[in-house]
A = this chain, B = another copy of it.
Amino acid sequence: MTTTIEPRSGTAFKLGKGQFLEVVDPQGQQVSDLLAFNAHDTAEVISNGRTFDYADTIYLTTGHVLYSNRSNRLLEIVRDDVGTHDFLLTPCSQDTFRLLYDELEPHQGCFGNLAGVLAPFGITEDEIPCAFNCFMNVPVDGKTGKFSVEAPLSKAGDTIVFKAMMDVIIGLTACSAPKSNNGSFKPIDYIIHDHLDDVA
């Protein structure tokens, strides 16, 4: 069953150990910020630094594991149509829009959307770390360290599939930042599967 996350919004749900989460970019060139917390102790949370420590790369794709701040395996990427995602940057927020976009009325962004949907699970704003930003295209210049946020390489229907390595709470958005998705706000779809064979 496909669920749609409307443009500039977010959702949160439980994913059981061994289940699969398929994140779909239905129209192409859209970003989805993903967070994961240990469902039984939400102080354990996805960590870009721990993941980089063990992956030896900042570009993550099929076969890479997303680790928690306690060095436990939260999710494994088991399929990936795109191969280009970001794990350096934080969910866009009111501050992002104020500081980077100079918007008169800053949107609450993925950060505000995630904070809203995670609050019922007892997760506070301060506990929201860097997200794994599905389909976000942030090439880094290795010589200077400078990066830019470019249009995603995802085409309509492209997906990334994660396997839950423990019971997790997932936060997931259809991104709100113009730079991330080539200037147009689009939905994100997701499907939970019990078996990898069920993925189309």
Contact = CB atoms under 8 A, between A and B. Distances in A.
Which secondary structure dominates where chain A touches chain B? loop
A145 B59 contact: yes
A147 to B, nearest CB: 7
A130 interface: yes
A93 B129 CA distance: 19
A10 B7 CA distance: 46
Interface string A18-47: 000000000000000000000000011101
Interface string A109-144: 000000000000000101011100000000111111
A4 interface: no
A71 B88 contact: no
Interface stretch (A50-58, A151-159, A162-170, A187-195): A50-58
Contacts of A96: 53, 71
A9 interface: no
A129 B45 CA distance: 11
Greatest chain B CB density within 10 A among A43, A48, A144 is at: A48
A142 B146 CA distance: 10
Nearest to A149: B56
A57 B126 contact: no
Contacts of A142: 139-143
A144 B93 contact: no
A88 B52 contact: yes
Contact of A146 (B48, B53, B56, B89): B56
16 contacts: A48-B48, A48-B49, A48-B130, A49-B88, A52-B88, A52-B89, A53-B96, A53-B100, A54-B99, A57-B145, A57-B147, A58-B145, A70-B126, A71-B96, A141-B142, A142-B143
Instruction: List the 9 shortest-distance A-B pairs measured between CB atoms, nearest first.
Output: A59-B145, A142-B142, A71-B95, A49-B130, A49-B90, A57-B145, A43-B126, A58-B145, A57-B146
